[in-house]
Amino acid sequence: MQTLEIAQRPSPNCGPRRAGLKPQLIVIHYTAMDNAEVAIQRLCDPVAEVSAHYLIANNGAITGLVPEDQRAWHAGAGSWQGQDDVNSRSIGIELDNRGTHPFSEPQMSALEGLLAQVIQRWSIPATGVIGHSDMAPGRKMDPGPHFDWARLARLGLAADVCRQRVPLSLDPDSFMRTAQAAGYPVDLPFETLLAATRLRFAPWRRGPLVPADYNLQA
């Protein structure tokens, strides 16, 4: 297995995972800040009350902030596969990016190496690698439309598009059922959920519901 060089900047913003839970998910974020150092300072600031397990800088440097067996404060309100308290169920990875441009090659390469190791350590399936926007549709946009999910899927580090059997009639209710089966929370407007799934699987798509919108992970 690839040896990763990980600098340590311990954050006080963490605690025990609740109810004996272990990581079942990996949640990918972008920092939306000026640079990695500014983001690390915020993630280590007790006043901010936010953190993540890792941050990967634009140049590929990885910083460990919270031990994997601890609960970092990165996900906030939301759910996945009907389960809340995502913080207790996940590993959070922040990427140094404002969300307005593609992610660098060194950063993506470092992310791939880190994901492979975390997935192996905790036996997390590819379907358990999600974006912040997946578990909190409408509230969060990260890692955003410039993130290369297809690249991770080709390596088995994220779920690929799953070709679904499209209902005879396209309607919000049938789409909501498909999205719920894929793991998305559905206690929100149809338009919000459609936008969130497109952000992950087809960020270029606009307009009304089409058959391809049913092609979600499952």
Residues 38 and 113 in one domain: yes
pLDDT digits (tens, 9 = 90+) for 60-95: 999 999 999 999 999 999 999 999 999 999 999 999
Residues 103 and 209 in one domain: no
pLDDT the model gives residue 218: 58
- Residue 37: domain span: 6-154
Residues 126 and 180 in one domain: no
Residues 92 and 147 in one domain: yes
User: Count of domains in the chain?
Assistant: 2
Residues 112 and 189 in one domain: no
The CA distance from 176 to 21, in Å, is 28
pLDDT the model gives residue 166: 76
Among candidates 20, 200, 4, 26, which has minimal Cα distance to 124? 26
Residues 58 and 112 in one domain: yes
Average pLDDT per run of 10 along the chain, which is 218 residues long?
A: 91 97 98 97 98 98 98 97 97 97 98 98 97 97 97 94 78 94 94 96 95 86
Q: Taking the CB of residue 35, how many other CB atoms lie within 10 A of it? A: 12
pTM of the model: 0.96
CATH of the domain at 123: 3.40.80.10
**In a domain? residue 210:** yes
Residue 75's region, left for phi above 0, alpha for psi from -120 to 50, else beta, is alpha
Residues 127 and 53 in one domain: yes
pLDDT the model gives residue 163: 74
The CA distance from 87 to 91, in Å, is 8
Residues 210 and 123 in one domain: no
**In a domain? residue 137:** yes
Q: Are 164 and 210 in contact (CB under 8 A)?
A: no
Concatenated DSSP letters of 19-37: GG----EEEEEE--SSSHH
Q: Are 37 and 70 in contact (CB under 8 A)?
A: no
CA torsion sign for 88, 89, 93, 94 is: negative
Residues 146 and 179 in one domain: no
**In a domain? residue 167:** no
Instruction: Tell me whether residue 94 is one of the annotated catalytic residues.
Output: yes
- Domain boundary among the residues 154, 181, 196 is at 154
* Residue among 5, 37, 94, 112 flagged as catalytic: 94
